[in-house]
């Protein structure tokens, strides 16, 4: 699902802007359990199946989660 969101922002030329938009969408609209699962996936696998800006967005989400703990 995260890669589907990434596909929506794929036409954004600036990948940093795309990653920020993806992060904002996931943070704003995903249930906390979904966010926890994708962060756990990222930590376990390094986000192998996440595409470009999506991986950056999830990395940022993981860092925020770790900072709150």
**Per-residue confidence (pLDDT) for residue 69, from 0 to 100:** 73
The predicted model scores a pTM of 0.92
DSSP letters spanning the chain: -HHHHHHHTTT-S-HHHHHHHHHHHHHHHS-HHHHHHHHHHHHHH-STTS-HHHHHHHHHHHHHHHHH-
Q: What residues contact 3, with CB distance under 8 A and at least 6 apart?
A: 49, 50, 51, 54
Q: What averages of pLDDT result for each successive group of 10 residues across the chain (69 residues)?
A: 95 95 97 96 96 96 90
**Per-residue confidence (pLDDT) for residue 63, from 0 to 100:** 96
**Per-residue confidence (pLDDT) for residue 68, from 0 to 100:** 84
């Amino acid at each position: 699902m995260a890669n589907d969101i990434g596909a929506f922002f794929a036409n954004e030329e600036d990948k940093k802007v795309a990653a920020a938009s993806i992060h904002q969408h996931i943070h704003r609209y995903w249930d906390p359990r979904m966010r926890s699962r994708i962060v756990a996936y990222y930590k376990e696998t390094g986000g192998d199946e996440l595409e470009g800006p999506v991986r950056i967005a999830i990395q940022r989400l993981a860092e925020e989660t770790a900072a709150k703990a």
